[in-house]
Amino acid sequence: MPKQSLASGTFRDEYNDDEERRLSSICDCSKPSVRWGWGIFSFSAVLVSIILICVSLKKLSSTEYGVAYDRWEKVLINATKTGGLHTGPPGYRFIKFPSTQITTDLQDICVSRDGLRVAFDVTFQYQMPVDRIVDAVEEFRDFKTWSKVVEAAGNSAVQHTCSEFNVTDFQGIRGRIQDSMLENIRVKLQGSSTKVTSDGVYALASSLQLRNVELPGEYKNAIAAKQRAEEDILLATNQRKQEITRANTELKAAQQEQTKILNTAYNTGNVTILEANLKAEETLFAFEKEQQVLMEARARFGLSSNGILAYMSNQLYASMDKLAVSTEEPARISRKGLLSEASIPADGRI
């Protein structure tokens, strides 16, 4: 046993001496090989440090949110970062999401409540709430997958809204349909119409525009035919009114002409009657005067009826400048001899 202990101690002493000589040779910078070794070591250390620093720094732009993920430990750091330069475990990466509003266009075909296919073009805007990024990453992994889910949820909301309205409503109450689409999208994306919950897809819907609606061709043709029929009916109604107005105008003109003719006839008749009355009065007056003259002549000359006739004949002949009479027998031309015949009757009549 003493011999073995002595041998072991001697071996340790020799090993320690060798280590001291090796360390002294490594630290002896007077040798070129040692200097080169230390230089390479220092350069490698600096290079490794630089590499580690580089892989430990990540940058986010001012329009991005990020959640750090350690790819080696498979750990998600439960803290959302905003724009700037950030440090983390070597080799980590950011799962990035836009901090601004995101716009999505939807072009698809939906079915209305009355069973007609309607093509739509919808654009809606949404945003990732900063306090829900970690939840979205845990459920959907990254922005690409999450955005696809949001788009699918938005399309589902639009499809559901279409089924609530008839095809005629897309022409008459388009604004109301747009508001209903936005309300349904909020419920789908947020899980509630007022706030973001775990029942949705962790997206905050802000606005929606119903840009275009393409109705079925058969329906548009039917609507066009109906409009043409309504226009034809309106045209016929207007023409009927015009014809009625024209007929009423012509009737009023005829009535006015009738009134005018009747008034003229009445006036002419009244004038004719007045003239006839005046002529009759004139004739009666002339006969009365003639009677008075004859009565005076009969009384003055004592003439009989034949004498009166002879007197009247003489008066007629005397009033004419030239008189030619053609008679045949037994016509009597002269009554001269009768003027002295027969005296006037006692009653004084002719």
Distance separating alpha carbons of residues 39 and 41, to the nearest angstrom: 5
pLDDT at 97: 92
pTM score: 0.54
Regions of the chain short of the pLDDT cut 50:
1-7, 11, 341-350
Distance separating alpha carbons of residues 11 and 2, to the nearest angstrom: 14
pLDDT at 49: 60
CA distances from 173 to 15, 73, 166, 311 (A): 97, 56, 10, 114
Bridge partners, residue 98, by sequence: 64
pLDDT at 346: 46
**CA neighbor of 52 nearest in space, from 83, 88, 79, 81:** 88
User: Tokens 């007056």 appear where?
Assistant: 285
pLDDT at 7: 47
pLDDT at 293: 81
pLDDT at 295: 84
pLDDT at 246: 93
